[in-house]
Structure 1
Amino acid sequence: MLKSNFSFYTSREAANKLGVSITTIQLWVESGALPAWKTAGGHRRIPSEAVETILAKQQSTAVQGRGAHAHSVVIVEDEPVQREMYRIKFSEWDLPVNFYLAQDGFEGLLMIGKHVPDLVISDLSMPGMDGFEMIKRLIESKEIRVPALIVVTALNAREIEASGGLPEGIPVYSKPLSLGVLKPIVEKTIQHNRH
């Protein structure tokens, strides 16, 4: 029996609080990224503590480029040094994008749901939800469509296959990736997705 002093949000309230759509909330709940329970009538109830935790993560891990831009990139990488390299390079390039850094697949899903990026750059080997699981959930999602996704990993082709493989058509780059190679990929994606 739940104690009455616990507070819960409906899907709509959680969506408003986090600045995302109700379908994004549903995706997060179904993927396990957001804990919830269902009432006898089938309505979701989301612990307010879980919503506050996600809100704090969004505020502490989002790194924006200069100003507001029409395009965005989500980078999912667990190694702090690699994340810092991405942050420095994206700032230096002065591209018209907002970029967001996530530490694992769980945070990646949260940011992708919130910012609906033009491009996702993801590692595969990460603690918690790894890149394989995050990509699988993105591909299966009917609500969120990511126009472009690339993988940057230290795993070789055999190791990727042994871990379940990746959907066809996802470009895979080996670590360490020259970030000079990455810049034209980002520029091309932006050009392709211009409104």
Structure 2
Amino acid sequence: MNKSKHTEPLLSTQQAADLLGVSLRTVQLWVEKGALDAWKTPGGHRRVTQSSVERLLLKNQTQPIDNSVRILLAEDDELLKQLYSLQIESWGLPISLQSVTNGIAGLLKIGEWAPQILISDLQMPELDGFQMIRELQLSPRHENMKIIVVTALTDAEIAAGGGLPSSVQLMRKPLLFSDLKDRLEKLLQELH
């Protein structure tokens, strides 16, 4: 966006983050992905248009009211992602499921859609599950999100990746879908 043609109100990235209830890094990622309109000052600081922040807020407020629990699946293996979807949808639980293939897309979708449960792999391209979870931990808006990690990594490999917060539930691959169903049913009871 060209500053000389710009007349609408601008916000700093921190002001945008505060209004949207997300971390500063999430706003930076949204700017890079084009979800928010912004430009850089000559000093290298980003300025976000107030109208793009308002559009994103309005989009979140006008989503249809739905009593189902929103679950986001972050998994880069396309076949495994399809298997998750088929299994979860076959259970007939009050769930709305969406999926992404990496942590950047995950953070964007979480900001837009506000899922109550995240099921995530740890090894993904661009931004892995470790980094995505760390970003989520920085935002008070996501402190009540339930996170389930499904991984083939060993405890030593998880520790080498920086470990996981104690609130994250860990499940191992190969995943028994009956175990995931039990876990989700318990979480659904907690959320309702």
Same fold (TM over 0.5): yes
* Secondary structure of residue in 1 paired with 2:148: strand
* Secondary structure of residue in 2 paired with 1:72: strand
Q: Which residue number corresponds to residue 117 of structure 1?
A: 115
Unaligned runs of 5+ in 1: 12-20, 47-66
CA RMSD of aligned residues (A): 3.3
| Cα drift, residue 170 of structure 1 | 1.6
Of residues 173-182 and 145-154 in structure 1, the stretch that sits farther from structure 2 once superposed is 145-154
Q: Which residue number corresponds to residue 16 of structure 1?
A: none
Query: Take 2:81 and 2:137, find their aligned partners in 1: how far apart are those partners?
Result: 24
* Aligned 1:31-70 pairs, distance under 5 A: 32-35=29-32, 36-39=38-41, 44-45=47-48, 68-70=66-68
Query: Take 1:137 and 1:128, find their aligned partners in 2: how far apart are those partners?
Result: 14
Unaligned runs of 5+ in 2: 12-18, 33-37, 50-64
| Residues paired across the two proteins, number | 166
* Aligned 1:89-100 pairs, distance under 5 A: 89-100=87-98
* Aligned 1:44-193 pairs, distance under 5 A: 44-45=47-48, 68-193=66-191
* Secondary structure of residue in 2 paired with 1:109: helix
Structure 1 runs of 4+ with >6 Å offset: 3-6
Q: Normalized against structure 1, the TM-score is what?
A: 0.71
| Cα drift, residue 187 of structure 1 | 1.2
Of residues 152-161 and 140-149 in structure 1, the stretch that sits farther from structure 2 once superposed is 140-149
Q: Normalized against structure 2, the TM-score is what?
A: 0.72
Query: Take 1:34 and 1:185, find their aligned partners in 2: how far apart are those partners?
Result: 35
